[in-house]
Amino acid sequence: MSRHYLMCAPVHFDVTEKSNPWMRPDHVVDRERALSQWHTLVEVYERLGHRVSLLDPVPGLPDMVFTANGAVVVGGRAFVARFRSATRQPESAAHQRWLESTRYDVAMSEGIGEGEGDFLFTGRHVLAGTGFRTDHATHLEAQEFLGYPVISLRLADECFYHLDTALLPLDADTIAYYPGAFSAGSRRLLERLYPDALLATAEDAGHFGLNAISDGHHVVVPSDSTRFADHLRDRGYEPIPVDLSEFRASGGGPKCCTLELRPAAE
């Protein structure tokens, strides 16, 4: 089924602070290379039959390319992020304006919550991360607004600061995740909910293999996540490798660059 994604060109992309362990403020961003890699990602989505809409980049907001963090959109309702980092807080207004202009039912998070970085829709419920970026109380806000059960998961390793670095919904029934990223209780919960999950290794997660996009068959993964791609093939999925190495200096991959827009019909 065709998907609809919101993306933002990295014309102002830079690494200006260290708000997660992967960020390298000493890295000199090759913006031309970043733009080329981003355009390739857009072309991959369009080749797979998906629709891409564009959010206008705003000068002075170097992380706007990571649109996934700006909201979570389910059933035509958009729960807009409230960022923990002061640098990123103005991104919320840009997302809110775009979503309202395209007639989504929009609510701004009252608590700290970072969009699809920590809220992943599976088709039946929302898996929600807490521990580093998103406050647990915001999970309740999201449940009330979106109208889907929200299942809280505690992240326990700061290298996996957002849920979308540690867990990937593959289809309505299957996820992949890295157990080492979660608290003991959250691991037990995931084992009960998804006994047939694809368990990623530390190497898979370290290559940002889980920061990927699945349409239920094709899985767009970082090009250096070769072992994880093999695991996906073994499960019947088709991995599509993309090189987003320029964004790794900020802790980002395909998922970070992609916000899925789910219409009211779903």
Q: What amino acid positions are annotated as catalytic residues?
A: 162, 256
Measured in residues, the chain has a length of 266
Q: Degrees (nearest 5) of the Cα angle 75, 76, 77?
A: 90
- The DSSP-derived string for 162-220 is SGGGTEEE-SSS-EEE-GGGB-HHHHHHHHHH-TTPEEPPHHHHHTTTTS-EESSSEEE
Identify which of 7, 11, 103 has the alpha carbon closest to the alpha carbon of residue 50.
7
Identify the DSSP state of 245. G
CB 210 within 8 A of CB 168: yes
Q: Say which residues have a Cβ less than 8 Å from residue 166's Cβ, sequence separation at least 6.
A: 129, 155, 157, 160, 177, 178, 181, 182, 205, 210
| Structural tokens at position 168 | 């990937």
Largest Cα–Cα separation, the chain? 45
